[in-house]
Amino acid sequence: MNHPDRVAAWLVDPDETGQLPMEITDVDNQLGKSIKVILFAQDHTIGNLIRSQLLLDPNVTFAGYRIPHPLDNKVELRIATDPNPKDRPYVSPRKALLNACTTLMLLTQRLKKDFEEQSKALEIGAGVGLNMGMDMSQGGNLGSMGQPGGYGGMDGDFGYGGMSMGATHGASAEDPYQY
């Protein structure tokens, strides 16, 4: 068949292939200083996640990705940041990528923890949503259990429109659909 092996689609072993999981190249073009990142053995899932997170950063002026060919398991990201920010310190495209990936890892860890807590609550019969509701009114400033910097990113700076999953004033056992 023409399509690549499914395991090869997500597994990069540098010892076997001699290939690193990614390459980063500096690019000078009409965007100013930017970088091109090639992620091997990846697809639209990680490309869109990283691009979306980068676009939440006010320092990023451009973030995009493409899949060069449907049969190649690689993603090309382009990232450019504001070279002359007026009201904040300069953030390089590499630092913006690091910040985005760090935030995504923290979000993933929190999602896993919340899922495990909810699964455990279901096992003991406590029900779904016990003090783990969605508060749409906080603008992303309060995160899980009402702590600053939860799902709102770094103190809400890169918030997700107020989806503060797990805020203590969200849904309760009496009214699991309260928002």
Model pLDDT for residues 13-58, shown as the tens digit of each residue: 655 656 678 888 888 777 678 999 999 888 888 999 999 999 999 9
Do 99 and 160 share a structural domain? no
108 with 148, same domain: the answer is: no
pLDDT at residue number 111: 96
Domain annotation covers residue 178: no
- Strand pairing report for 164-167 and 60-66: unpaired
Q: Using 50, 70 and 90 to split pLDDT, how confident is the model at 71?
A: confident
Whether 172 is in a domain gets the answer no
Type of residue numbered 35: I
Question: In 10 A of CB 7, how many CB atoms?
Answer: 8
| Buried residues in 86-107 as b, exposed as e (16+ CB within 10 A) | eeeeebebeebbebbeebbebb
Exposure string of 140-162, with b = 16+ CB inside 10 Å and e = fewer, is bbbbbebeebbbbbeebebbbeb
Pairwise pLDDT comparison (123 vs 52), residue with the higher score: 52
Q: Give a yes or no: residue 36 inside a domain.
A: yes
Round to whole Å and give the CA distance between 81 and 85. 9
| Within a domain: 170 | no
Query: What is the pLDDT at residue 40?
Result: 87
User: Does one domain contain both 7 and 24?
Assistant: yes
In a domain, 179, yes or no: no
Q: Does 144 lie in the same domain as 104?
A: no
Number of independent structural domains in the chain:
2
